[in-house]
Amino acid sequence: MGGCWADIKALLVDVTDPGNPTPGMLPAIFCDVIGRLDAARLAYAVVGRIALTLHEQARFVGEIEIVADLGADGGERATEFVRATRARFAAHMDPHQCRRPITLTLGPCTGATETMLLAEAITCPWFGVPTRLASAEHLLWLWCFTEAPDHAMNAAALIAGGTVDLHRVQSLLRKTDDIEESGQRRLRLAIGDAVLSTTSSFSRFMMERSARLDPNQVPAWRLQRAQATDGGDR
C-alpha cells in the first residue's frame, strides 16, 4: 500500500504551532537538492521516510535523507553540499533561526552492494520533479545494516506493507554483515515487529467489528437455515 508525495505534503504541519512555515518548506528544499544532484550528474537514491512513502503509507517527514555515489572524496563533498544547502535555506534549516528545523543527510555509498542498489532506484515524479527513490530492498537493507532510533520502526512498517523481497535482503545482509551478524539480527527483529503489528491490527479490527454488531441480530444465513428446516418438517 504505497502513497505519493501529495500524502507527505498534506502532513507537513507543525501541530504545536500551525503558523510555523518551516515544515511546509520541505518540498522546496527537496527540489533544490535534487536539482543540484542531477546537475552534478551524481548517482543517488532518496532514502528515509520520503522514499518509504512510495512503498508504504505516508508519515510526517522532517528530514531529507539521500545516499549518493560521491567518489573518492565523498565525505568532503557531502559535508560541503549539506553546508551549502543549510546556508541557502538557513531560515528553515538552522536550529538557531527556527523551531523544528528541516535536516539534510547526504551519505556516500558504503560499498559495492549499495552502489548496485543505487542502480535499482525507482525514478518517478516526487514533489513535482523527477526523483530517484530507493527500492524497498535498498531501504530495508540500509535500515538493518545501520542503526538509528527510527530504523527499526521504519523497517517493520516496510515489511508489514508486503512490498519487499525479504529473501534478497537477507542475502545482501549475509554479504555485508559484521562478524556478530547484527544486520541479520535486526532483520529478524523487524520481521517479528511487523508480524505483531499486523496481528494486533487484525485483532483490533475484529474486536471493533464485534462491538458494532447488534447482539440481538440473527445472521441472515441462520434465518435461511431455520426456514429450510421448518419447511422440511412440514
Output the nine-digit C-alpha cell for 82: 549539506
Q: How many C-beta atoms lie closer than 10 Å to residue 159's C-beta?
A: 24
Q: How many C-beta atoms lie closer than 10 Å to residue 106's C-beta?
A: 22
pLDDT in tens, 85-95: 999 999 999 99
Q: Map residue 39 onto helix, strand or coil.
A: helix
Say if residue 4's pLDDT is above 60.
yes
The crossing angle, in degrees rounded to 10, of helices 26-39 and 74-88 is: 140
Output the nine-digit C-alpha cell for 195: 508480524
pLDDT in tens, 158-214: 998 888 999 999 999 999 988 889 999 999 999 998 888 776 555 555 555 565 566
pTM of the predicted model, to two decimals? 0.81
Instruction: Give 192's contacts (C-beta < 8 A, 6+ positions apart).
Output: none
pLDDT in tens, 82-134: 999 999 999 999 999 998 999 999 998 878 898 999 999 999 999 999 999 99
Longest Cα pair distance anywhere in the chain, in angstroms?
91
Number of residues that make up the chain:
234
